[in-house]
Amino acid sequence: MNLRPDPTFHASPKLAMQAPVENYAFTVMLSPDGSQSDGIAVVDLNPKSETYGEIVHKVIVPNKGDEFHHFGWNACSSSLSPLTGHAFLERRYLIVPGIRSSRVYVIDVKEPLEAKIHKIIEPEEIFEKTGYSRPHTIHCGPEGIYVSTLGGGGKDGTDGPPGIFIMDCETFEVIGQYEMDRGKQDKHYDFWWNLPQDYMVSSEWGLPPQFENGVVPEDLLSNKYGHSIHFWDLRRRKNIQTIDFGENYQMALEIRPAHDPTKSYGFCGVVVDTTNLQGAIFTWWRGDDGTWQAKKTITIDPRPEKPENLPPLLQGFEAVPPLVTDIDLSLDDKYLYVACWGLGEMHQYDVSDPMNPKLAGKVELGGIARGTAHPNGKPFVYGPQMVEVSRDGKRVYWTNSLYSTWDDQFYPNDEGGQMVMARVGENGGIELDKDFYVDFPKGYRGHQIRLEGGDCSTDSFCYPSV
Amino acid sequence: MLSDPNTMAALWWAVILSGLYHGLNPGMGWPLAVSAALMERKTDALPKALGLLAIGHLLAMLVILLPFSMMLFLTEWETDIRIGAGILVIGMGTYLLINRRHPKFLARVHPAKLGLWSFLAANAHGAGLMLVPLFLGICALDADTGHKAAEALMSGNILTAFFVALAHTSAMTLAGGVIALTIYLWLGLKFLSKTWFNLDLVWAVSLVFVGAFGIHTALNGH
């Protein structure tokens, strides 16, 4: 507990943009075959430092096979709401779930160079107290730390639907299930909210048997992955509306609401349209009558390719699907970044008009049957995947791996982990920084990135930008 | 020892000062008034939100003070009631000193229900209890000077409870309103986190102090 609010808590997105820039990134180190323990790499982002762009510290966990994926903070700018009484928490701990083991690590990063494990929550405790498994997205909010899960109970996680559970934001004790009325929701992936407007939105990937051993082509072609998003009354814990994008919009993943809490819209990325292999972004918004609406506002076409250049999974299609696997919205709600992991491209859309996005910039890097090298001449394995934008919106960081078994299906002969950074032009446009290229230690791949002091996919704001 | 009129004035000032103190504490809600004005993009929303917070706070004071005003009907037990109340307030302060966790149920309240939130937050933090020793002191002085009949005394006490709650809540709303308006109109949101101090410890100690004060005055004839 502090005597003053943590200086990294900001009342509005605008204040967060004006705050001092990030000095460190925390990035997942994934051992895809579980032969080594997973970890969190601390990357030096201070251009004046002698170790700029290097991994300066690693927190390697004691277990193997956790499969680190997404993670988040114990506390963020949401603590500045007097309603919840959390104003004096410290942004100090990273909550890091193992998506395969269902184990959760709490890592103390108060001193980034001496970051260490603070607490380990064993899978049995999560199973017992929540009935869920395979924890994924972390957000800190009114009732503590919210954790979405991809699996229900039982060995393969299909015994009951997955959902969200709540952890105490001071003791990290697992409290229990969030949902009181889940309505039609039977799959899960990401979630985020608007705190003053008191709504939450959640999305769907698939159930554990549909992803743990790789993508199941039959399930994909018969449209059995998730294709709906759910709107919730956040405080009442009730699903108030489900929007089905259409069954061909397979895997509705990242939910990115506008950061300014006066706005009632946001975006959701869809991995693949099974009718034409396009990637898609939907804009969702609250209509004048108070009900939620959604419309496809961005499509990204596949690229035709000779079968002999393609992995076996894609040979029959003679094309490279874009595979929109992550999106991120800048804090001023102006630019939406879209990772096309299959094509090997990072797109930047101007979404000032959320119903009419315009492509503003693009970088080619890696990609199926293309493998574009980094401007420094070194390779970028797989394609642009987890993307994180600096609070001031000037730097965009990303890593390369999607999910262990899926990497091996779409890029069968490749192995490695990289983190790169692109700079954003004054009037849009993105360009890779030649001097920023983090090559991960042998046997490790990269996944989600968290920036010191918060970033564009962690903090929830309770006051509008003015 | 102060003379009765001076003691009376001091007690009323204490009621007002405690109101100012509650009002300045962001935990009692003024940032929500700033947020309301910014969210709705109109200044009107600020006094409206303050009004809702004030109603909730006023009711929270009354639910604590009114039962005590009724109890004072038992005039022969007056000293015992005041000592008991003092012990209760010290107990609440001690509880808040030991249990530094914030009550979870407050996070379940819808952000637009400011009156309800204010009522629950004030009760959860013992804001009403803080007034009890002051209120009982005022009632005791009233009884000393008035020599009224029991019935008149009771209705007088009920009236006093309303006045104490009103004076306290007005002071609270004034203090919260001034700081909310200053931040909304001039200083900007940056000062919202800058003016926020952790008063949890001070608050708990205040309760213990006020409770002890209540017992002291009860035993010393005021």
Which residue has better confidence, A465 or A202? A202
| pLDDT computed for residue B174 by the predictor | 97
| CB-based contact, B136 to chain A, within 8 Å | no
| pLDDT computed for residue B148 by the predictor | 62
A141 to chain B: closest CA residue: B107
| pLDDT computed for residue B147 by the predictor | 59
| CB-based contact, B26 to chain A, within 8 Å | yes
Q: Are B193 and A9 inside 8 Å of each other by CB? A: yes
Rounded percentage of chain B residues whose pLDDT exceeds 90: 62
Asked which of A103-107, A450-454, B130-134 is least confident by mean pLDDT, the reply is B130-134
Q: What residues contact A344, with CB distance under 8 A and at least 6 apart? A: A364, A365, A366, A367, A368, A370, A371, A372, A380, A383, A384
Asked which of A18-32, A298-312, A323-337, B16-30 is least confident by mean pLDDT, the reply is B16-30
Q: Give alpha helix (H) positions in A195-253.
A: 217-221
Claim: this prediction has a pTM higher than 0.90: yes
- Nearest Cα to Cα of residue A270 among A260, A284, A259: A284
* Cβ contact B128:B59 at 8 Å: no
User: How far from each other are the two terminal CA atoms of chain B, in whole angstroms?
Assistant: 10
| pLDDT computed for residue B146 by the predictor | 55
Supply the mean pLDDT for chain B. 89
Q: Are B193 and A4 inside 8 Å of each other by CB? A: yes
The beta-strand segments (E) located in A79-185 are 93-97, 104-108, 116-121, 133-141, 144-151, 164-167, 174-177
Q: What is the largest CA-CA distance in chain A?
A: 64
How many Å apart are CA A259 and CA A267, to the nearest integer? 11
| pLDDT computed for residue B100 by the predictor | 81
CA distance B201 to chain A (A): 10
Encode pLDDT of B142-185 as tens digits: 776 655 666 677 788 899 999 999 999 999 999 999 999 999 99
For residue A329, what pLDDT band results from cuts at 50, 70 and 90? very high
Burial of B139: CB neighbours in 10 Å, binned 0-12, 13-18, 19+: buried
Sequence letter at residue A270: V
| pLDDT computed for residue A422 by the predictor | 98
| pLDDT computed for residue A354 by the predictor | 98
Q: Are A82 and B32 inside 8 Å of each other by CB? A: yes
| CB-based contact, A20 to chain B, within 8 Å | no
Encode pLDDT of A114-150 as tens digits: 999 999 999 999 999 999 999 999 999 999 999 999 9
Fold of A13-451: Methylamine Dehydrogenase; Chain H (2.130.10)
Q: Are B110 and A198 inside 8 Å of each other by CB? A: yes
Encode pLDDT of A153-176 as tens digits: 999 999 999 999 999 999 999 999
Residue B3 has pLDDT above 70, yes or no: no
| CB-based contact, A261 to chain B, within 8 Å | yes
How many Å apart are CA A236 and CA A198, to the nearest integer? 9
DSSP state of B54: H
| pLDDT computed for residue B199 by the predictor | 86
Residue A385 has pLDDT above 80, yes or no: yes
For residue B198, what pLDDT band results from cuts at 50, 70 and 90? confident
For residue A231, what pLDDT band results from cuts at 50, 70 and 90? very high
| pLDDT computed for residue B210 by the predictor | 93
Q: ipTM score here? A: 0.90
Q: At B171, which helix (H) or strand (E)?
A: helix B150-182
| CB-based contact, A131 to chain B, within 8 Å | no
3-class secondary-structure state, position A141: strand
3-class secondary-structure state, position A309: helix
Sequence letter at residue A172: F
| CB-based contact, B169 to chain A, within 8 Å | no
Encode pLDDT of B77-98 as tens digits: 888 999 999 999 999 999 999 9
Report the pLDDT averaged over residues A365-372.
97
Name the residue ranges covered by the structural domains of chain A. Answer: 13-451
Rounded percentage of chain A residues whose pLDDT exceeds 90: 97
For chains A and B, count residue pairs whose Cβ atoms are closer than 8 Å. Answer: 96
- Nearest Cα to Cα of residue B126 among B199, B54, B203: B203
B199 to chain A: closest CA residue: A3
The beta-strand segments (E) located in B24-181 are none
Structure tokens at A450: 């968290």
Of B41, B101, B197, the CB nearest to A3: B197
Residue A2 has pLDDT above 90, yes or no: no
| pLDDT computed for residue B1 by the predictor | 44
Encode pLDDT of A27-62 as tens digits: 999 999 999 999 999 999 999 999 999 999 999 999
Sequence letter at residue A350: D
Encode pLDDT of A209-225 as tens digits: 999 999 999 999 999 99
Give the CA distances from residue A43 to residues A58, A135, A162, A442, B92, in Å, rounded to whole numbers and listed in that order.
9, 25, 33, 16, 47
| CB-based contact, A270 to chain B, within 8 Å | no
